[in-house]
Structure 1
Amino acid sequence: MVYFPVRKCYHVAKICLLLLLVVSLLALFEHYRGGKRATKAELSDPIEAEYERQILEDEARIIPGLGEGGVAAHLLGEDKRLGEESEKKLAINVHLSERIAYNRTLKDHRNPACKRVVYDAELPSASVVIIFHNEPYSVVVRTIWSVVNSARRDQPWYQHANFVDRDTGRTMTLGYPGQDPNSPLVYLKEIILVDDNSTLPELKGKLSHYIRTRLPPDLIRILRLPDRVGLTRARLAGARYAAGDVLVFLDAHCEAQRDWLRPLLGRIKHAPHAVVVPIIDVVGASDFYYSVQDPAVFQVGGFTFMGHFTWIDVPEREKKRRGSDISPTWSPTMAGGLFAINRAYYWELGAYDEQMAGWGGENLEISFRIWQCGGTLETVPCSRVGHVFRSFHPYGLPAHSDTHGINTARMAEVWMDEYAELFYLHRPDLRKNPKIGDVTHRRVLREKLHCKSFQWYLDNVYPDKFVPVAHVHGYGRFSNPGSGLCLDTLQREAGSPLGVYPCHARLHATQYLALSLAGQLRTEEDCAELQYARENLGWKIIPQPEFPQPEGSSSETALRVS
């Protein structure tokens, strides 16, 4: 007979059962927390506990309903004064921003026709790249939430889609190719935050803790640069880090409208060489009012030969070409802060010029390159994103250098051909300046891509652009040989009277005037008119007509008045 120690077996079985229960509970707990450290474990770290305390205080500071729907938000009393002080210092009412919900909703400002557009269910994946340097913490977090919330699978607009491939008859699933159909988000593969060496402590550990504890796991990655490199190089770093089919660049102070991403991805799916931008709406820096005057009216990008971006009305010829108010609309340039591009095409096109430092000029450079090298630059009207436009930059550029001027000179040297002289008219100090650096590799890129001339760009993309050396009977100085004085803008704003000033030894931008084919005395942007009541000559802005290419216009004439 075999004897079994019943009491001992009972205790062993009891211990095994207890161990099995503990292991099961641990497994369930690990699944629940999604592979992340549990809050209690985090709070056992005093640093993490401090971050959590600060975030809870931030959340308690939020006033429910303030600014909801994108309406203007206002504070009273001492809070109002503190808000105004923060805006003077940071160009954004940070005190107010901290009291508005991070994930506030916005009124739908799209053209009503956009609601009837049916997009393919299957679209390319998107990597959203956001650059920040010492941005207000609450503004950065609101930008992140805006992107995340708009990509939630349960948003009602995603149920309105085409699920059958028109070419193959294949049934498509909602999302990007290969995406888990049970994923809570659609199309959004990742958000890449590039910290361009911020010095504000809340943008370090506190921001990381917030993302780790309050946002979807494994969606957001932070790339922290060891040195400040500026917008252009920071975006290059983010693009190298990205894995999505489409790169979507956003500034760190944005709020997206509902269903903003699909129109961009849909256009790129069907036109991989189209670089697309949303309509950029204004979010007030003082009150966070989301401002839209007319959902059906918007502007596209232009430029000045001084090297600045401008907004222009959509020309009549483009309205006829596009065929519909909500069709992709050609834009000669883009503001540069918000756009989407096929990732493979971005690298094929030459990405950004790595020798451009800081900020400025990169938007015109990539705009000209897109058009001259075979792509198109388009505004997609059914995509709208709000942007906080600040009145000044609250932080300096690297080494406080003239990055806008230097970058623009690099652009002019490579892409503007003989028209670069119009830029140097405004910036003679940069002509042959060693600060510009070597542009040989960018000229090689232009040859490799078989890009067209800047004259082709002006003739075909921006024919309504007034060119001071082309659309004129003559150009130069209005001088009085007897007195040696010339008409001069005196660097005054538009609407101010013209003055006189001793003629410069070389033609200077303030004395550069043209007599247009329409008989107007003008600069690139403004026209002169005689104000009889005040008996002086003043400026006023006028709509620019579409100028024909002149025949026999003179580039040698010196215009003289006695």
Structure 2
Amino acid sequence: MSILFIGENGQPVLDYANSESEVAFAKYGFNVAASDKISLDRSIPDTRHAECKYWHYPENLPRTSVVIVFHNEAWSPLLRTVHSVVNRTPSKLLLEVVMVDDFSDKEHLKNKLDNYVKQKFGSTVRIIRNRQREGLIRTRNIGAENARGQVVVFLDAHCEVNTFPRWLQQYSRRTVTVPVIDSIDMNNWEYAQQRGYGSKPLYRGIFEWGLLYKEAEIPKQEEVLREHQSEPFRTPTHAGGLFAINRDWFEKLGYYDPGLRIWGGENYDLSFKVWQCGGSVLNVPCSRVGHVYRRAVPYSFGNVSGPVVSINYKRVAEVWMDEYKEYYYIREPFIRKRDAGDLTQQRELRLKNRCKSFDWYMKNVAYDMPVLYPKLPQNLVWGEVVNPSSYLCIDTMGKRNFETIGVSPCHHSGGNQLLRLNVKGQFASGEWCISASHGQLNAGRCVPMTVDGPWRYDKTSQQISNAPLNKCVALKRQTSQLVLAECNANDEMQRWVFNEIYL
């Protein structure tokens, strides 16, 4: 009689909710208390398509370096990542695992980790340590520069490699391969097959104009290129954490832009340059890797200040997006005047590699993206929306599911108080649109594939009106609530000023 240990075959930890787990969430962004109950060598289900078991792969696949970057990572998720790589990759293909420590200060990641890795894996796994905090992006560059394999595979520090990663197959030197990413639950550590997109089992990565990563159904003209559901397919971009790339090709592309700080935007930097400079990005359905998505980032950005991710996006837009960068600035107007640093090296790299235009990329690779996320019309007004009489600002308060929004003291920091109203009447904050219901204002998902809306702004009377309802946005004196009221140009509670703020 066999005994099924906790978490085996990807099963969840049942008694995961307790005070210990809450402490773990605060420290690491996921439930490490549950993870610690599971073997570092646990089994997980084979989530591949049935066809994957019958493919024949070349025997002479390139030897590979697996790079795992970590900063103050919890012990069991980090080591389970390494164990899964070593356990499920044939030794003739796995040259090494390179763990790169981005200046962690937790004791368990110092001598204890060194001793464990040496005793358990010998020379197969080695640790490189940064002498200062570099961030995920630059630390991955360090890992690639120190890798010895012909192919470099990047993994996050909280993954579980599934069946032998078929992404190591070299479709061409300039092909970046991306696995299907299964889900590992942040609460109970259950391993679950990726749900796909809608009724489809797979999706490809795209983006919206704020450069937020999105997923979309595989277009029919891509599907016809595949005879089997298990065959790789082209993807305009990828989520960023898990992929394989030829080491020399990565070097020729200049690795990641070293001007990108900490994390954010690196997936676009790589995807755009790969496609525009003569390469391709493929999703490989027969390669599966489980990944834990954190509740929140549990660490600080150190001495780095400012809107780090938005500045990273600006660097990518300025180097690779040509005239299309304007749509990013319409979507994120607060970043237009922000200094993104010296871009000379990146622009010279693009010229040296004779890379194609972003218009070519949009028409030949990401051609479905403007259908799902149409080009944005110009903003009529944008900024923090303040009522001059009360000095309160409209605030979406993080509401997402068509919940009521309100007002709060103006803080001049953007975020939930940064809104824009375009010339076609769409009133939005980030990717969320403002709508009206039962006399109140709500925030929720914008109507798919649209850029217009019912809102108008009169710069003379300073009123925001809803044209179909013929009502104006007003601040209720007694309760400080946002309501829709009969329009009255003399009512100071209906006056709203859009103050542009640059972060």
Provide the TM-score with structure 1 as the length reference.
0.69
Correspondent of 1:199 among 100, 105, 108: 105
Q: Which protein has the larger Cα radius of gyration, Structure 1 or Structure 2?
A: 1
Query: Using the alignment, how far apart are the partners of 2:315 and 2:224 within structure 1?
Result: 35
Which structure's residues are more often strand, by fraction?
A: 2
Correspondent of 1:282 among 183, 186, 202: 183
| CA pair 324-283 structure 1, distance change in 2 beyond 3 A | same
Q: Cα deviations across residues 378-434 of structure 1 (Å, max 9, x unaligned)?
A: 110000100010010111113152321221111111111122222223444433433
Query: Using the alignment, how far apart are the partners of 1:410 and 1:272 within structure 2?
Result: 27
Query: Using the alignment, how far apart are the partners of 2:44 and 2:396 within structure 1?
Result: 45
Match of 1:150 in 2: 88
Match of 2:14 in 1: 74
1:265 paired with 2:171, answer no
Query: Using the alignment, how far apart are the partners of 2:439 and 2:356 within structure 1?
Result: 48
1:199-348 aligned at under 5 Å gives the runs: 199-215=105-121, 217-259=122-164, 261=165, 263-266=166-169, 269-292=170-193, 297-348=201-252
**How much has 1:213 moved relative to structure 2?**
1.3
Correspondent of 2:96 among 187, 190, 207: 190
1:409 paired with 2:314, answer yes
| CA pair 523-116 structure 1, distance change in 2 beyond 3 A | farther
Kept after mapping to 1: 8 A contact 2:277/2:350: yes
Kept after mapping to 2: 8 A contact 1:194/1:238: yes
Match of 1:110 in 2: 48
Count the aligned residue pairs.
432
Which structure's residues are more often helix, by fraction?
A: 1
AA aligned to 2:12 is: A
What secondary structure is seen at the aligned counterpart in 1 of 2:9?
coil
Q: Cα deviations across residues 126-147 of structure 1 (Å, max 9, x unaligned)?
A: 1000000000011111000000
**How much has 1:237 moved relative to structure 2?**
0.8
Unpaired runs of 5+ residues, structure 2, are 389-393, 408-416, 452-458, 471-503
Match of 2:352 in 1: 448
| CA pair 471-249 structure 1, distance change in 2 beyond 3 A | closer
Kept after mapping to 2: 8 A contact 1:491/1:510: no
Query: Using the alignment, how far apart are the partners of 1:338 and 1:377 within structure 2?
Result: 12
- Larger deviation: 454-463 or 97-106? 454-463
1:6-21 aligned at under 5 Å gives the runs: none
Unpaired runs of 5+ residues, structure 1, are 1-62, 153-184, 502-507, 548-557
| CA pair 404-499 structure 1, distance change in 2 beyond 3 A | closer
1:34-183 aligned at under 5 Å gives the runs: 65-75=5-15, 80-152=18-90
Q: Cα deviations across residues 319-351 of structure 1 (Å, max 9, x unaligned)?
A: 223343211111111111100001111111221
Q: Cα deviations across residues 205-253 of structure 1 (Å, max 9, x unaligned)?
A: 11111111122x2111100111110011111111111110101000010
Kept after mapping to 2: 8 A contact 1:196/1:234: yes
Kept after mapping to 1: 8 A contact 2:399/2:405: no
| CA pair 327-528 structure 1, distance change in 2 beyond 3 A | farther
Query: Using the alignment, how far apart are the partners of 2:142 and 2:76 within structure 1?
Result: 24
Correspondent of 2:257 among 340, 353, 360: 353
Q: Cα deviations across residues 353-375 of structure 1 (Å, max 9, x unaligned)?
A: 11222111111111111111111
| CA pair 75-447 structure 1, distance change in 2 beyond 3 A | same
| CA pair 465-530 structure 1, distance change in 2 beyond 3 A | farther
Kept after mapping to 2: 8 A contact 1:229/1:398: no
What secondary structure is seen at the aligned counterpart in 2 of 1:189?
strand
1:365 paired with 2:269, answer yes
